[in-house]
Structure 1
């Protein structure tokens, strides 16, 4: 089994209803109503930008000592906004996040926090900001399409202005055993939309409504878009937008 695949190459984020917008919107609604997720062919996040993100930014970031990574902290009232690691039941999992990554100043503040001496890798801020901005544009397009299809498109701009974006970078260590190990247990996301960019290694699995787990194979030109609980909608004339569960295995 494979996820629905939707081509966004003919969609211009700045020009709703132009090009293939209406056609893609219909495909998005069908995919979210039946699967709760889809694979988005998204050339705007170029292979060059992906390489600079994962090889030039993410790799040296996770090579840092744990004490340095723990500086990624947004306060006791936001425990899941920053560094995650040494979590019972999630061996080998680490993650850091930038709040509002599409804003260059937020990425710069993150880099200065992690590398207080200013000696962060060359191109780090440009790679993280460029990737976050590109992914956020896809998120905005999908959210607008969903709201238009539900007949509440006029409320998209106020919602977009009040929304914020969490750009999370995660690493899962490979297990010692030869058999598959669940690294991040089955769950549903609580936000509106999640957009996942995998890097070379398979691991993300999505559960269908009939209980089947579908392995999501990484692609150099696509992203995985998943609906979260905040965007689940039920009405007499509107299909339920629902993601069953997702998990990460290695």
Structure 2
């Protein structure tokens, strides 16, 4: 059961409508939420709900397939494309696997691109779920574009040129994950997603039908995150935490099991993990280092080296 405190503060939504009306104000409010919580809630995101619903419906149709049909799409690429079955992913340092299965969509690369050696082509289950490629591929592109807008605001908040991040993520190994958490029949040691931090730059998460997402606050309390309709949750990943010398924190979060009356209901969600280009060198930003905040990471690391190291820790590589 959740230990989230009923009186814990809520993360106040920031309206995306402010992005075009008052960009500096939007950047300060968004950046302030990230600096305080590592998370922000962005309302009025403007991504058409009917298109989101179509992509989620395609995911539900795939997860409803028989197990042997789904496993046709399990690829030997470290879980970065296609299907990952139930009972594999395990939070870093955790003993028990998460109660979930998922589908990964990655970036389509042009022929001959230098990253093709480690960013394989997508696989699509349209033979079993007609229209999957079109609907889910559209959602990938929509969240990729929204991620660029969020990064513009983060750059401005950090005192960088607003388009600073554009060339660092344009061919990033970003992943859209369609997640299915099946009903939870009884109490046990496993939960839907064990406490963890995200590996990547930022994560964008559209609202899920079922509750469960919680964020660990500075005082040790778990805050329940239930975004209003038309909102998305965004959080800082470990790569951006490292780049900013922890000025923007990557906060521990989890997905807890439902209350007894909701145990018979599955949970679906669609996080988009935005990544740096594989050869981008994560080197601490100079304006995030001073006498009070010495550089925690004097040795830089490329984004792909960092990713592979972490994938091994969570049993996806």
Q: Distance in 1 between matches of 2:171 and 2:129?
A: 31
SS at match of 2:133: helix
Deviation of 1:174 after TM superposition, in Å, equals: 2.2
Aligned CA distance change for structure 1 residues 220 and 110 (closer, same or farther; 3 Å): farther
Structure 2 residue aligned with 1:27: 29
Structure 2 residue aligned with 1:70: 71
Q: What are the superposed Cα offsets for residues 69-111 of structure 1, whole Å, 9 maximum, x if unpaired?
A: 33444534x34544322227236411111112799xx9x9532
What is the TM-score with the length of structure 2 in the denominator? 0.64
In structure 2, runs of 5+ residues without a counterpart are 1-8, 91-95, 111-118, 258-317
Aligned CA distance change for structure 1 residues 129 and 160 (closer, same or farther; 3 Å): same
Which sits farther off after the overlay, 90-99 or 24-33? 90-99
Deviation of 1:194 after TM superposition, in Å, equals: 0.8
Deviation of 1:188 after TM superposition, in Å, equals: 0.6
Contact 1:101–1:129 (CA<8 Å) still a contact in 2?
Answer: no
Deviation of 1:220 after TM superposition, in Å, equals: 2.6
SS at match of 2:215: strand
Aligned CA distance change for structure 1 residues 101 and 220 (closer, same or farther; 3 Å): farther
User: Where has structure 1 moved over 6 Å in runs of 4 or more?
Assistant: 178-181
Contact 1:204–1:249 (CA<8 Å) still a contact in 2?
Answer: yes
Superposed, 1:1-250 pairs within 5 Å as: 1-11=9-19, 18-55=20-57, 57-76=58-77, 78-84=78-84, 85-87=86-88, 89-90=96-97, 92-100=99-107, 110-111=123-124, 114-115=125-126, 118-121=127-130, 123-153=131-161, 155-177=164-186, 182-232=191-241, 233-234=243-244, 240-250=247-257
In structure 1, runs of 5+ residues without a counterpart are 12-17
Q: Distance in 2 between matches of 1:80 and 1:119?
A: 20
What is the number of residues matched between the two proteins? 231
Which sits farther off after the overlay, 173-182 or 40-49? 173-182
**Over aligned residues, Cα RMSD in angstroms?**
2.9
Contact 2:98–2:194 (CA<8 Å) still a contact in 1?
Answer: no
Aligned CA distance change for structure 1 residues 58 and 67 (closer, same or farther; 3 Å): same
Contact 2:45–2:232 (CA<8 Å) still a contact in 1?
Answer: no
Q: Distance in 2 between matches of 1:247 and 1:139?
A: 22
What is the TM-score with the length of structure 1 in the denominator? 0.80
Q: Distance in 1 between matches of 2:41 and 2:168?
A: 24
Q: What are the superposed Cα offsets for residues 153-211 of structure 1, whole Å, 9 maximum, x if unpaired?
A: 35323213242320100111121237997321101111101111233100111111111
Structure 2 residue aligned with 1:14: none
